[in-house]
């Protein structure tokens, strides 16, 4: 993996002649530049206070690329081939910083923390002390509060990896930020492998007992460039059970079987086949209990778009995965290329600890203590059939 500047490439072309260059943006020079895995760095925009937000574009040897910015450690673009080799952007996002900063948006591509998903009434008790968080989702706290990790500026640096290219993002969440206890040092490393995988590896350490639940909130549209919807996508979930919720999407504490429910994706099933049977919220927004031992890397989900042939396999060490069918989109948000993002235009598969785990002793613990490390890994494996 090499961090390269445009000046070096220009010098190469001038030295070795026009046969290596092309006068058009889509010519041989661009194709040649994609042969080696590397990272490009550029300015993405500036915050209102003048802070520069950087964009790191990762390339692999197969022509795939991923762009991640320091605002929210956010994945803004992910270009992978379809069955015909055509490259398309398979995540929803914006092509300018203003889209992320100024307007409300549903966490497109962001790193979520300090606690991903919901905490009931914004309250939890740790070491005998009750903590009150902001309630930014009805009566509950969602995704770390109004100014979670998705709205923070992270530090970033490319790192050397044997397979593909990678960038490590780090952020210090200070004691009391969004009223969470402890100074928490968090990192997430994005790696684009040469086999078209996006690997996300998270670490966190604290100096005081706290709770942690880190995830990524990418919206995947396998048709490419925000086109179409997911209702014909074929979904497999490696989950025999799920966590039922109340009317505010807080788990009841029960862990129930998916059998004979519209949540049974143990056999590959069209997403739209039973979506109309989900009452109250208009689609899927459910936490599934991933089969197998938490802490070990195992498959959680597989999604296939029959039209493009693109497929994602999601592998994770996390105990759960949230399947969200983009029910909150309504066409009012326009993303890259001016595309209006409609309901069901993407699928989110957020690997995680269960919602409201700090208040549910029977759920896998989300507590982190000083002297221990939070570590989690999720891999999105792309292919085309």
Which positions are annotated as active-site residues?
Answer: 217, 350
DSSP H helical segments within 26-145, as ranges?
Answer: 28-33, 97-101
- The first and second tokens of residue 373, run together, are 């490390």
DSSP string, 170-234: EEEE-TTGGG--S-EEEEEEEEE-TTSEEEEEEEEEESS-EE-B-EE---B-TTSTT-S-STT-E
Say how far apart CA 341 and CA 92 lie, in whole Å: 8
**Cβ atoms of 347 and 325 closer than 8 Å:** yes
Instruction: List the one residue out of 313, 300, 317 whose CA is nearest residue 384.
Output: 313
Q: What tokens does 345 get?
A: 């235009």
Nearest to 106 by CA among 371, 285, 312, 321: 285
Distances (CA, A) of 94 to 70, 333, 334: 14, 10, 8
Structure tokens at 238: 């490696």
**Share of the chain residues as helix, strand and coil, in percent rounded to the nearest 5:** 10, 40, 50
| Pairwise CA distance, residues 385 & 379, whole Å | 19
């Amino acid at each position: 993996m090499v961090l390269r500047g445009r000046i070096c490439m220009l010098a190469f072309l001038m030295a070795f002649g026009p046969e290596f260059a092309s006068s058009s943006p889509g010519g041989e020079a661009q194709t040649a530049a994609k042969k080696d895995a590397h990272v490009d760095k550029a300015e993405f925009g500036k915050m209102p206070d003048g802070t520069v937000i950087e964009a790191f574009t990762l390339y692999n040897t197969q022509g795939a690329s991923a762009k991640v910015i320091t605002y929210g450690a956010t994945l803004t673009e992910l270009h992978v081939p379809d069955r015909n080799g055509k490259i398309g952007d398979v995540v929803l996002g914006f092509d300018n910083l203003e889209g992320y900063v100024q307007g409300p948006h549903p966490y497109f591509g962001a790193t979520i923390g300090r606690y991903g998903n919901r905490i009931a009434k914004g309250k939890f008790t740790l070491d005998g002390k009750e903590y009150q968080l902001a309630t930014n989702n009805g009566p509950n706290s969602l995704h770390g509060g109004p100014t979670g990790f998705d709205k923070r500026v992270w530090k970033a640096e490319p790192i050397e990896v044997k397979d593909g290219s990678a960038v490590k993002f780090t952020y210090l969440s200070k004691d009391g930020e969004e009223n969470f206890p402890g100074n928490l040092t968090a990192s997430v490393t994005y790696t684009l492998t040469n086999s078209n995988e996006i690997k996300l590896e998270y670490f966190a350490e604290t100096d005081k007992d706290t709770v942690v639940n880190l995830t990524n909130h990418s919206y995947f549209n396998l048709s490419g460039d925000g086109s179409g919807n997911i209702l014909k996508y074929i979904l497999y979930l490696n989950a025999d059970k799920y966590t039922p919720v109340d009317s505010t999407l807080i788990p009841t504490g029960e862990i129930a079987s998916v059998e004979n429910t519209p949540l049974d994706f143990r056999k590959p099933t069209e997403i739209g086949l039973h979506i109309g049977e989900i009452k109250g919220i208009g689609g899927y927004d459910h936490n599934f209990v991933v089969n197998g031992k938490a802490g070990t890397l195992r498959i959680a989900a597989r999604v296939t778009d029959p039209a493009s042939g693109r497929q994602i396999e999601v592998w994770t060490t996390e105990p759960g995965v949230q399947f969200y069918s983009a029910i909150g989109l309504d066409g009012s948000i326009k993303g890259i290329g001016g595309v209006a993002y409609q309901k069901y235009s993407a699928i989110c598969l957020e690997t995680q600890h269960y919602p409201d785990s700090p208040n549910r002793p029977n759920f896998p613990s989300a507590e982190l203590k000083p002297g221990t490390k939070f570590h989690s890994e999720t891999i999105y494996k792309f292919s085309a059939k």
